[in-house]
Copies of this chain bind each other. A is one copy, B any other.
Amino acid sequence: MTAETGSYGSATRYPYFYGPEGRLVLVDSALEAVRRGSTTIGIKTPAFALLASHIKPVRPLIDPAEKIFTIDGHVGATGSGYIGDILQLIEELRLEAQKHRLNFESPIDIGSLAKHLGSFLHNYTIYAVRPQAASVIVAGVDQAGVQLYQVDPSGTFMRGSGFVIGQSADIALDVVQREYSADMSVEQAVGLSNKAIEKALGERPVVEIGVVTAQDRRFQKLH
């Protein structure tokens, strides 16, 4: 739903598929669910791409759920929204990456992966009872270099150098945009994403982080 069709404000909601002003009501609702998920960030420079997801403070005795997923050796992903939906989309990405390796004996390029996820999600807006309530950020390296994509419930996908989804995404995005620099180091990017999430949530965040660099071309989670 990017800038193409404007932002989703506080409009009244109707049970019909198209609401006032031609909006897709169920997609609106799915996006609203995304806005309540963990604050999640993607940052890309020519040298690397980083995924960082806020780990909401879980109750004692619960292991924090994995939020950063390896899709294939050269690509990782994260998401925000309904966990059940995120997990299904992560599985779909892994399946698509494996199929590509099988058919072409080469790693899938990141744009194709994002495009596939986009049309997978788009089908739900036409044929299914409900669209999937999750946005996904994909980071990887291919022949064209380091890549970062965001894919939304409507099937829209965007390429860029800085994305934020989930709770208070606007505030965190503002921080990322102001302090982003294309020659940051991975450490600086980690610091920036921490700062952005802290600003958004008003508390010192716990985050899970994954990085892929142009040099070693492997997506890895940081510890």
Contacts and interface: CB of A to CB of B under 8 A. Distances in A.
Contact of A83 (B21, B56, B87, B156): B156
A62 to B, nearest CB: 4
Given A59-B177, A63-B158, A24 B82 contact: yes
A37 interface: yes
Interface in A31-89: 31-38, 56-63, 65, 81-85, 87-88
Contacts of A23: 33
Interface stretch (A93-101, A119-127, A197-205, A210-218): A119-127
Scoring A38, A56, A61 by chain B CB atoms within 10 A of each residue's CB, the highest score goes to: A61
Scoring A1, A2, A4, A5 by chain B CB atoms within 10 A of each residue's CB, the highest score goes to: A4
A33 B24 CA distance: 9
Residues of A contacting B: mostly? mixed
Interface residues of A, number: 71
A44 to B, nearest CB: 8
18 contacts: A2-B65, A4-B83, A5-B83, A17-B130, A18-B29, A18-B32, A21-B32, A21-B36, A22-B30, A60-B162, A61-B162, A62-B159, A62-B160, A62-B162, A63-B158, A84-B156, A87-B118, A91-B119
